Amino acid sequence: MFEELNRIAAMPDGQATTLPGRYYTDPAIYDREIADVLELGWHCVGAVGELPDVGDYLTLTLLGEPLIVVRSDDETVRVLSNVCRHRGMQVAEGAGNAAAFACPYHAWSYRNDGRLAAIPYVDDPWFDSSACALPTIACEVWNGFIYVNLSVDPKALVPQLSGLAVELANFESETFAYAHTGEEVWDTNWKCVIENFIEGYHLSVVHPSSLHHLTPTRLAKIGPSDEAFTSFWSYFPDDLPSRGPGAQGLVAENRQRSLLWVMFPTQLVSQNASFLASLNVFPEGVARTRIRWTVSAHPKCSDELIQGAVDMWDTVNEEDRVQLERLQVSLDSRAARNHAGPLVDEDKEGTIHRFHRHLASRLS
């Protein structure tokens, strides 16, 4: 199933091709990606700043698993299974603040660390109620983001991110304040979303009014990569006025560029002096992807600057969605199914090749 992927992954940098179209449309390939890439990976589910107070929670579904992300009474961020231990109902929905979660079916209620607190109408249960806690899912916090891993005993995330941390230290992104969350569903394969975000080639073509004047295609440059991520730098033209405040110790070059990266497999991030945007990608089917995106800002950014950044991401996401939904249709054509087109060069599309190498390392 993956001979073509392996052959492409072995191509030299700068002279590689895309994956054939069927890699984005074949349900059997998608099922293998779920089992060997996605269920084993760490996924960003949101920003820590979305849950500032004890009891704050949000719910989401990651690869078919309903989850509650909550700041528990001891102030730690936890991820709980959102599936009642009685007869399997989803316990919580939406987002909000709660001292406990009451199941809507028979009102079993759970504390915000998952422990079962009450079983209405049952005075003396025959079963061990202490064994009926909502299961805890592996969770780590890094750089202002919350990460989840569905596997039972995953390799710790943070030690894998030292290479990325070096690139980011200068931006002081952990001091950025959470500002906005958006959510949308795109009718496209999850890998199309990843590849689109991490290549600078389409910027001037797909985003002529929203991005071309800020980050034109001609200034895209391949960035650092390692086992955990790959990236490109999106340089601003010299005549562009300052992009806002930024960290005090920020080196001059980092005032004039954004770093765009994918943390494998599904977090897409753009970091510049003033803004940190994360598109958290949730595959929901071979041709359906949910995107939960957040924007955080340097603490000195004005409300007006922040609103401008949020509006820009809204526009850019819509422009990308239109193209990727159109792409998904043609990738399923006889013309594309077995065709691998050339990636043009390292600076513009080299990150796509690196992403394919990552996939090959998991799927082979």
Residues within the interface to ligand FES (CB under 6 A): 84, 86-87, 89, 103, 105-106, 108
**Widest CA span in the chain:** 74
161 DSSP β-pair partners: none
Is the Cβ of residue 106 or residue 255 nearer to ligand FES in the bound state? Answer: 106
CB of 206 to Fe ion, least distance (A): 5
CB of 61 to ligand FES, least distance (A): 17
CB of 136 to ligand FES, least distance (A): 18
CB of 113 to ligand FES, least distance (A): 18
Which run of H or E residues covers position 39?
none
DSSP letters, 60-95, are: EEETTEEEEEEE-TTS-EEEEE-B-TTT--B---SE
CB of 91 to ligand FES, least distance (A): 7
Is the Cβ of residue 120 or residue 237 nearer to ligand FES in the bound state? Answer: 120
Is the Cβ of residue 87 or residue 155 nearer to ligand FES in the bound state? Answer: 87
Q: Which does 320 bind (CB under 5 to 8 A by kind): Fe ion, ligand FES, none?
A: Fe ion
Tell me: does residue 347 bind Fe ion (CB under 5 A).
no
Q: Which does 219 bind (CB under 5 to 8 A by kind): Fe ion, ligand FES, none?
A: none
The CA distance from 41 to 232, in Å, is 22
Preceding peptide of 237 cis, ω within 30°: no
Is the Cβ of residue 87 or residue 218 nearer to ligand FES in the bound state? Answer: 87
b/e sequence 116-144, b meaning 16+ C-beta within 10 Å: beebeeeeeeeeebeebbbeebbbbebbb
Q: Which of residues 51-110 bind Fe ion (CB under 5 A)?
A: none
Q: Which does 89 bind (CB under 5 to 8 A by kind): Fe ion, ligand FES, none?
A: ligand FES
Which of 33, 50, 195, 320 touches Fe ion by CB under 5 A?
320
Tell me: does residue 349 bind Fe ion (CB under 5 A).
no
Is the Cβ of residue 62 or residue 198 nearer to Fe ion in the bound state? Answer: 198
User: What count of other Cβ atoms lies within 10 Å of the Cβ of residue 318?
Assistant: 11
Q: Which two tokens stand for residue 327?
A: 């792409």
CB of 125 to ligand FES, least distance (A): 12
Q: Is 284 left (phi over 0), alpha (psi -120 to 50) or beta?
A: alpha
The CA distance from 278 to 181, in Å, is 10
Q: Which of residues 252-311 bind Fe ion (CB under 5 A)?
A: none
Report helix, strand or coil for 342. Answer: strand
Is the Cβ of residue 106 or residue 213 nearer to ligand FES in the bound state? Answer: 106
Is the Cβ of residue 87 or residue 300 nearer to ligand FES in the bound state? Answer: 87
User: Phi, psi (5° rounding) for residue 291?
Assistant: -125, 120
CB of 89 to ligand FES, least distance (A): 4
Q: Which residue has the tokens 């609103």?
A: 307
Q: Which does 242 bind (CB under 5 to 8 A by kind): ligand FES, Fe ion, none?
A: none
The CA distance from 155 to 147, in Å, is 13
* Residues contributing to the site for Fe ion (CB under 5 A): 320
